[in-house]
Homo-oligomer: A and B are copies of this chain.
Amino acid sequence: MSIEYKLVSRQNHVQDSIIRIGENIFGGENFVIIAGPCAVESEAQINETAEFLSTAGIRMMRGGAFKPRTSPYSFQGLGLKGLQLLAGAGERYGLSIVTEAMDIVAIEQVAEYADMIQIGSRNMQNFPLLKAAGKINRPVLLKRGLSATIDELLLAAEYIFDAGNEQVILCERGVRGFNDHTRNMLDISAIPILQKLSHLPVIADPSHASGRSDLVVPLSRAAVAIGAHGLMIEVHPNPQAALSDSAQSLDFSEFQNLIKEIEPFLPTSGSSHD
């Protein structure tokens, strides 16, 4: 095939890219956990979560203000108000913020409030948005599309690089499978393959990959053991009451257990990740 990525290729940049956001370091032997609710729902909810995450040692919070929802009748997020609540909670508790931008206009606004901008699965091949993300002075978290190949993901990252932004983190979040017990199918082998082909950090999102809170811990262990540079985990003070993704969100106690469970598999625990 004549279609090839250049700027994101490991051949172009042999060393791992290192991306620093606040106290978080992505890439190399570093490991980052991003956590937070699917959506910002209220000031109380986001502050309670931020306070908890802060005490749990987390330094980056996720939370949706603009939500891509399959149905127009589902909760669409709080928009600007959500961004403001998110930024306020982040500042109060010392957390960097990542949140999704869905279009080329909103991305400017999102960039004012967020430390990293997420491009979601459904927008992985939204090329105007990729180009806009390439002109924003913020790192970008690029999630793999539901049926995107590995080459297509890397070419999407190449769009961002080509437009001028070299701060891109890739995220494997499950692909469309025929699995009858999960929402999607985590393509765990994508993590080492992406790391071989590219110099970019690669994290995993076991919450969206499985859609089941009881699978988040085992999938996190696997992702850590295979060498992911981080995890993105949905956490909510009261998952049953969440306005979206309630089945896959951990409560605070489950999240504390996750941190304990993955500890033996972390890079600093002694295994050598090749």
- Is A22 part of the binding interface, using a Cβ–Cβ cutoff of 8 Å? no
| Residues from 26 to 57 in A contacting B, C-beta threshold 8 Å | none
When chains A and B are docked, how far (Å) is the Cα of A32 from the Cα of B162? 40
Q: Interface-forming stretch among A85-93, A171-179, A229-237?
A: A171-179
- Is A249 part of the binding interface, using a Cβ–Cβ cutoff of 8 Å? no
When chains A and B are docked, how far (Å) is the Cα of A8 from the Cα of B185? 24
For A146, the chain B residues whose CB sits under 8 A away are: 147
Cβ A179 vs Cβ B127 within 8 A: no
Cβ A215 vs Cβ B189 within 8 A: yes
When chains A and B are docked, how far (Å) is the Cα of A124 from the Cα of B270? 39
Cβ B224 vs Cβ A155 within 8 A: no
When chains A and B are docked, how far (Å) is the Cα of A127 from the Cα of B103? 9
Most buried by B among A125, A179, A188, A222: A222
Cβ A189 vs Cβ B209 within 8 A: yes
For A269, the chain B residues whose CB sits under 8 A away are: 264
Q: How many protomers of this protein does the assembly include?
A: 4
For A180, the chain B residues whose CB sits under 8 A away are: 149-151
CB distance from A239 to the nearest CB of B (A): 17
CB distance from A115 to the nearest CB of B (A): 22
Which listed residue, B104, B181, B221, B270, touches A226 by the CB 8 Å rule? B221
Q: Show 28 residue pairs from A and B whose CB-CB distance is below 8 angstroms, ordered by the A residue.
A: A3-B70, A3-B71, A3-B73, A4-B71, A4-B73, A68-B125, A71-B155, A71-B158, A72-B158, A72-B163, A104-B104, A126-B126, A147-B176, A147-B178, A149-B178, A176-B176, A176-B178, A182-B189, A182-B193, A185-B187, A189-B209, A189-B210, A189-B215, A192-B215, A218-B274, A221-B226, A221-B271, A261-B274
4 smallest CB-CB distances across A and B, nearest first, come from A225-B225, A147-B147, A103-B128, A122-B125
Q: A70-B125, A72-B155, A72-B159 are in contact. List 17 more A-B contacts (CB 8 A).
A: A3-B70, A3-B73, A4-B73, A69-B127, A122-B127, A147-B147, A147-B178, A175-B185, A179-B190, A186-B187, A189-B209, A189-B215, A217-B274, A221-B227, A222-B223, A225-B226, A264-B269
